[in-house]
Structure 1
Amino acid sequence: MPNLKMNFLLTVLYKSTTVLNQVLKVFFCYCLITISLLSCEYRIDQTNLAKNPDLAENRSKDTKNQVEKKFVTIIAAGDIMMGTTYPSSLLPPNDGKEILDSVKSYLRGGDIVIGNLEGPLLDKGGHPKRCIDKFGNLSRNCHSFRVPERYGAYLKNAGFNYMCLANNHANDMGTPGKKSTMRVLDSLGFKYSGLLTNPIAIIEKEELKIGVAAFSPNNGTVSINDHRNAKKIVSELKKSCNIVIVTFHGGGEGTSFQNVKDRQEYYLNENRGNVYRFSRDVIDAGADLVIGHGPHVTRSLDYYKGKLIAYSLGNFCTYGKFGLGGEFGIAPILQVKLTSSGEFVSGNIVPIKQINRGFPVPDDKKRAIKTLQRLLKQDFPESNLVIRDNGELTVTAQ
């Protein structure tokens, strides 16, 4: 009986092996046929491409179209000065570690997140600048800042990856301050521009290149008053980049300068530029988005030749040294979506207010949105840009 069972098992095993061999032979033949067909298809494809260059061009266009379908999100905030150790120490509670916590969720997720850094990142030393007082005389009684170097990490953790250095505080601590600022930003992976030594920045996102140029009326920065040079910088940048963003520090300060006009603006005997004309000139030269800072109040948005302009994003995070009453204490975070070729798709305003001497938090009263709606009607009544009550930016057909 055991022998019969053994013979039966051997017979079954033999037949199974035979079937498996047949299956393997069929599978092997299938693989050979598939490889041959693919090889033949590749040779035919290459022959067709050689005979018909239009096919190759069309494939190149298909690849380009894939890039064209991509979108870029830019998020921008206004003036940033998180605390200073000069002329005396004035730093936030807990060394400022939570100063940006309430707004992180609105900053993170952008391809480029822009801020205007009002004060060098420097732990000690430096050469405090001289400035022009209201009588036109040189003075050391300036609003100069020196921000601890470790505060740069707070910006990084909040989501920022680009800082505008073209402003009236870039030179607060002289050359040591500028060198230290760039060293700290470099160590954290930031891009920055606006100094004469670093006029532009290029940020790469997958297949896209985004160029950022920054301007101001201040010494050591790329001049906002030299429109010819500004247009040259922008047009050259556009040749190598899919999208060009211009950010500037310009215009007079305070509520008396809140309305945008086509004129040169002077403040404390300083020519702060014609921001209206400048913005249009750089767009004509190839800029896709223009973002302004400097007046310490929110100024109007504008829409010119399909491009968005924000003339001032106000005080975003300005601890201790800035008056924050009324319009000085509210500001927008601007969120903009562009196509990969720089066309405006959509936008949004997140209204912010500052509390506790300079901590930015969301503003439930949405005052920055209301301010922008009012200014748009006053300054650009014919504009087809619409700011909705929820902060959404849309464009109507003209």
Structure 2
Amino acid sequence: MHPKTRDRFLMVTALAVSIAGTGAIAVNYGEKRAPEVQSVDVWTGRLPAERWSVQFLGDTMLGDGATPMLDPLGYDAAVAGVLPLIDGDFVIANVESPITSHDQPLNPGKEYSYHAEPQSAWTLSKAGIDAIGLGNNHSMDMGLVGLQETMKLASNAGMASFGAGNNLAEAERPLMLRTDRGTIGVVAIGENFGKASRAEEFNPGTVALSPATVQRGYDLARAAGADWVVAYVHWGDNYVETSSQERYWAQMMVDTGYDLIVGHGPHIADKIEFIGDVPVAYSLGNFVFGTPGRFESYGKQGIGLMLSVEMSRNGPVQLAVKCLVTDNSKTGFVTQPCDGPQMISAIPLVNPALQIQGNVARMPCRCFEPPK
């Protein structure tokens, strides 16, 4: 968690659905009615009186090609270049590898299977990350053992985890952020990554995109008290711009009622557009990701984005974007902030309405209106 927010300005919980009857949500999927909330356990805290922000980070993995650097220098070295940019009151990252000492892949034939050593959980927490999204195609790389250790290590480091679980009910639990202005529910969902990775009633994994899971994620968050619901979505092809399929799902989410869509997966930054008043960030690209990368072979820039929703008690909502250089062939596996010329080159391609002010670009958003 960020040093500036040690006293927990936000109240947060990953809502646990428990078979033993002690959980937060009871759901009857067979009936067309909203899930019923029984009880919610939250960490208590107090929101800053005037301004606060939720910050979303893209693909994160402290391992693989970065390991020869991390072993002698320590895992903090991987995030040293971007520490000053992690400034949200609550920060969420898509952690795209199990955090585990277990190194036997679930599927030895899979082209890329990742894992990060246990100390990386503490590195992410110390850097300011408060919750890790696990709804991606690598969370099950080391099987159930790797997933369970990831969730345990995150919890021990003071981070919530969501988007994957021992079964479908656990994987679908939304992350709830409670503030004095209102409550945000964050739903992690992704493409169908195959049977070995797909959560089912009695099988571990992640939540696969379907009309039913899009609707159910929204209903679960609203039933738990969310005034606004965010989709945190893992989709797309590596190093490829937004597809018609992603636009199809984005439109479905907007029609369902989601208030913000934050995408990750392709490893490159892509546009932030609006469907009506709903912002859709199709891909944040990488945050700190330890593979060598293939940007040059695909003819792409190694650029990532950090996206914040900035809210104040009386003023309009702002979207704030920071730009990162994530091509490890240029950074030596230490992600760096974009310099001035890089900002000027990259930010207008994300959205021409973004106004650059130093190391951040902002634009107003008619979203997250105060609940009536």
Please give the alpha-carbon distance, in whole angstroms, between the structure 2 residues aligned to 1:285 and 1:161.
27
Please give the alpha-carbon distance, in whole angstroms, between the structure 1 residues aligned to 2:220 and 2:365.
32
Moved more, 324-333 or 301-310: 324-333
The Cα shift of 1:129 comes to 3.0
**Of 255, 259, 267, the match for 1:288:** 259
- After superposition, give the CA deviation of every residue in 1:69-97 in whole Å (9 maximum; x if it has no partner): 96541111211111149xx9645241222
**Of 224, 237, 240, the match for 1:252:** 237
Of Structure 1 and Structure 2, the greater helix share is in 1
For the pair shown, the structure with the greater C-alpha radius of gyration is: 1
Please give the alpha-carbon distance, in whole angstroms, between the structure 2 residues aligned to 1:319 and 1:312.
18
Amino acid at match of 2:320: N
Give the 3-state SS of the residue equivalent to 1:99 in structure 2. Answer: helix
- Matched with 1:198 is 171
- Does residue 1:157 correspond to 2:136, yes or no? no
**Of 323, 328, 333, the match for 1:351:** 323
Query: In structure 2, do the counterparts of structure 1 residues 235 and 367 end up closer, same or farther at CA, with 3 Å as the change threshold?
Result: farther
Instruction: Structure 1: state its 5+ residue gaps.
Output: 1-66, 131-138, 264-273, 378-385
Whether contact under 8 Å (1:297, 1:314) holds in the other structure is yes
Instruction: Structure 2: state its 5+ residue gaps.
Output: 1-46, 198-204, 367-372
Whether contact under 8 Å (1:291, 1:309) holds in the other structure is yes
Amino acid at match of 1:351: C
Query: In structure 2, do the counterparts of structure 1 residues 90 and 340 end up closer, same or farther at CA, with 3 Å as the change threshold?
Result: farther
The Cα shift of 1:208 comes to 4.1
Moved over 4 A (4+): 69-72, 88-91
- After superposition, give the CA deviation of every residue in 1:153-191 in whole Å (9 maximum; x if it has no partner): 111111111111011111110111100000011112212
- Matched with 2:75 is 96
Whether contact under 8 Å (2:323, 2:343) holds in the other structure is yes
- Matched with 2:23 is none
State the identity %: 22
- After superposition, give the CA deviation of every residue in 1:230-260 in whole Å (9 maximum; x if it has no partner): 1232133124112322101101121xx21x3
Q: For this pair of structures, how many residues does the alignment match?
A: 294
- Matched with 1:128 is 105
- Matched with 1:361 is 336
- Matched with 2:155 is 186
- Greater RCO between the two (CA within 8 Å, min separation 6)? 2
Moved more, 324-333 or 113-122: 324-333
The TM-score normalised by the length of structure 1 is 0.66
Please give the alpha-carbon distance, in whole angstroms, between the structure 1 residues aligned to 2:141 and 2:179.
33
The TM-score normalised by the length of structure 2 is 0.71
Please give the alpha-carbon distance, in whole angstroms, between the structure 1 residues aligned to 2:84 and 2:124.
13
Whether contact under 8 Å (1:235, 1:285) holds in the other structure is no
- Does residue 1:176 correspond to 2:154, yes or no? no
RMSD over equivalenced CA pairs, Å:
2.9
Give the 3-state SS of the residue equivalent to 1:327 in structure 2. Answer: coil
- Matched with 1:229 is 213
- Matched with 2:355 is 388
Query: In structure 2, do the counterparts of structure 1 residues 340 and 233 end up closer, same or farther at CA, with 3 Å as the change threshold?
Result: farther
- Does residue 1:243 correspond to 2:243, yes or no? no
Query: In structure 2, do the counterparts of structure 1 residues 345 and 364 end up closer, same or farther at CA, with 3 Å as the change threshold?
Result: same
- Does residue 1:216 correspond to 2:183, yes or no? no
For 1:21-36, list aligned pairs within 5 A: none
- After superposition, give the CA deviation of every residue in 1:188-239 in whole Å (9 maximum; x if it has no partner): 2212221233322223345743211101122221112x02321232133124
Please give the alpha-carbon distance, in whole angstroms, between the structure 1 residues aligned to 2:85 and 2:294.
24
Moved more, 177-186 or 318-327: 318-327
- After superposition, give the CA deviation of every residue in 1:35-78 in whole Å (9 maximum; x if it has no partner): xxxxxxxxxxxxxxxxxxxxxxxxxxxxxxxx9x9654111121
The Cα shift of 1:144 comes to 0.9
- Does residue 1:117 correspond to 2:95, yes or no? yes
Whether contact under 8 Å (1:332, 1:369) holds in the other structure is no
- After superposition, give the CA deviation of every residue in 1:260-294 in whole Å (9 maximum; x if it has no partner): 34x2xxxxxxxxxx221222322332322211100
Please give the alpha-carbon distance, in whole angstroms, between the structure 2 residues aligned to 1:160 and 1:117.
11
Please give the alpha-carbon distance, in whole angstroms, between the structure 1 residues aligned to 2:229 and 2:347.
24
- Matched with 2:306 is 333
The Cα shift of 1:324 comes to 5.0
Query: In structure 2, do the counterparts of structure 1 residues 321 and 140 end up closer, same or farther at CA, with 3 Å as the change threshold?
Result: farther
Whether contact under 8 Å (2:354, 2:362) holds in the other structure is yes
Whether contact under 8 Å (2:97, 2:141) holds in the other structure is yes
Whether contact under 8 Å (2:322, 2:361) holds in the other structure is no
Please give the alpha-carbon distance, in whole angstroms, between the structure 1 residues aligned to 2:163 and 2:343.
27
- After superposition, give the CA deviation of every residue in 1:99-142 in whole Å (9 maximum; x if it has no partner): 2122122213x2321211011000234x4032xxxxxxxx6152
For 1:284-323, list aligned pairs within 5 A: 284-323=255-294
Amino acid at match of 1:107: I
